[in-house]
Amino acid sequence: MKTLKTFVIILLTGIILSGCKEKNAGVEVVPNLELIYLSAGQVDVPLKWEVKNDHQMKKDVMEAINSIKFHNLKSPIVYRLALRLFVNENGTIDKVKDIGSDFVDNDSSKNYDKLTEISKLDKSVAEKMTEWKFTPAIKNGKSVKSYLDLKVSFTDNPDGSYDINYGDFMTVYPSMNDFVPVDKMPQVITSIAPHYPELAKRAGIEGTAYVKVLLSTEGSPVKAVVIKTDNEIFNQPSIDAAMQFKFTSAERDNKPVAVWVVIPFRYRLDGPKGELMHYKDLKDMPRKK
């Protein structure tokens, strides 16, 4: 009897310890790939999609969407594919992360698991990405790991027609000194005042930094470069602020285009606390000579 009692105690102890061990296994930590792969703003030449592969990419995306499309629609369905592509130095994709894929369906009569359908969409297009080719990003004269976002909006209509928009993914960005003719210049929607460096304040340093910013077709900063500065101490805070600006899209022939604009940030001390003055409207931009 004593032996049986001892056996039961040992068995219960083992079960309890086993449960504790499983509980203490911890939560999986996912690597922050954005620290390994650089953004467009961190490189000298951003990652570029090779235009010659447009046809194949469009075919792959359409096949992915078709794999989850519903039939006999009562109302339009909007599919949104949003993936971050992590590309290596050779121009091929290493990893893919969902950054907001979704679809909007107003037909409440359908019975499905939305998360499952979105996962099927992501997986379907990711399986085809092994053949996609990019021109690698360049930093300090060398190819580096970088990332860019694939965003596709697809509207499926009940009459069988559809509308599709590939966003900025296939945009061929102009080089910094390229002339891009536009019919409508971008206008500032949101401006950010840069941080006035504490060291510059204490030393009484004032000045202006001119930042040239590459804007996407959506008016979002892609890259920022200081082209002229009174003091290098103002360079990084000016770049940081410029990358947070938001603009309307530049347009040519009623279509959005990517362009470079110049934002001058003027640092001026005024009074004991110091005050930062900066241009908030592109009308204040210096004319290109």
- Which CATH number fits the domain that encloses residue 278? 3.30.2420.10
Q: Residue 285 and residue 227: Cα distance in Å, rounded?
A: 14
Statement to judge: residues 161 and 47 lie in one domain: yes
Domain membership of residue 242 as a residue range: 188-284
Same domain (yes/no): 95, 148: yes
How far apart CA 130 and CA 137 sit, in angstroms, is 18
> Contact, 255 vs 273, CB < 8 A?
no
From first to last of the 289 residues of the chain, give the pLDDT tens digit.
Answer: 556 555 555 555 565 555 555 556 689 888 899 999 998 878 888 888 876 778 888 888 888 888 888 777 788 888 888 899 999 999 999 999 999 898 887 766 667 788 888 898 899 999 988 888 899 999 999 999 999 888 888 888 888 888 888 876 666 678 888 888 999 999 999 988 899 999 999 999 999 999 999 998 889 888 899 999 999 999 999 999 999 999 999 999 888 888 999 999 999 887 444 444 444 444 444 444 3
Residue 289 included in any domain: no
Residue 86 and residue 198 share a domain: no
**96 in a domain, yes or no?**
yes
Rounded Cα gap, residues 95 and 247, in angstroms: 31
Q: Is residue 272 part of a domain?
A: yes
Number of domains, the chain? 2
Per the CB < 8 A criterion, the answer to whether 100 and 80 are in contact is: yes
In a domain, 179, yes or no: no
